[in-house]
Amino acid sequence: MLDRLFRQARSHNGWTDRPVADETLHAIYDLMKWGPTAANSTPGRFAFVRSAAAKERLKPLLSPGNVDKVMQAPCTVIIAWDSAFYELMPKLFPSRDMKASFVGRDDVILDTATRSSTLQGAYFIMAARALGLDCGPMSGFNRAATDAEFFPDGRWKSNFLCNIGYGKQEELFPRNPRLDYEEACLEF
């Protein structure tokens, strides 16, 4: 399993036409939702772009290098965050009034939402991989235009995109190196 999650995991660029079942999307979410976030805030939101019509809406918002990847993938997930996530804090942290920690504090909301939704996006990738899917996370899209197109009420804000499905091994790029422990870590 560690190989599937880390050592052999790759960011896919090419996809088979095998669809991702609804049950699989639910299973991914049901796994990833248990990952920790700041104050159990769980601000991450997930928009599944699957239909041809929805893909066409996303297409002009992509950087040129991402168009083919997204159009070919059976599912592109807009990993987003809810700018009013704190409204659900009474459910998510019932033992204390955590909502009061966020109301009117835009800097704390932004900091918490971006950090924790990024964590949730990583949990999403790990859950998808654990369930046998391949992933292709990416930046390279117009966030403001994506938000206007898919989240017109302004409450959800996009963070990054992630294609999911069943990747074509033959379309993988050669694996790039990673930093060694000594290059990336300090000990005190």
Q: What value does the mean pLDDT of the chain take?
A: 97
The predicted-structure confidence for 103-132, as pLDDT tens digits, reads as follows 999 999 999 999 999 999 999 999 999 999
The predicted-structure confidence for 151-164, as pLDDT tens digits, reads as follows 999 999 999 999 99
CATH architecture of 1-165: 3-Layer(aba) Sandwich (3.40)
Mean pLDDT calculated for residue range 30-59: 98
What secondary structure does DSSP assign to the chain, as a single string?
Answer: -HIIIIIT--B---B-SPPPPHHHHHHHHHHHTTS--GGG---EEEEEE-SHHHHHHHGGGB-GGGHHHHHHSSEEEEEEEETTGGGGHHHHSTTS--GGGTTT-HHHHHHHHHHHHHHHHHHHHHHHHHTT-EEEEE--B-HHHHHHHH-TTS-EEEEEEEEEE-B-GGGPPPPPP---HHHH----
Predicted local confidence at residue 150, as pLDDT: 98
The predicted-structure confidence for 52-101, as pLDDT tens digits, reads as follows 999 999 999 999 999 999 999 999 999 999 999 999 999 999 999 999 99
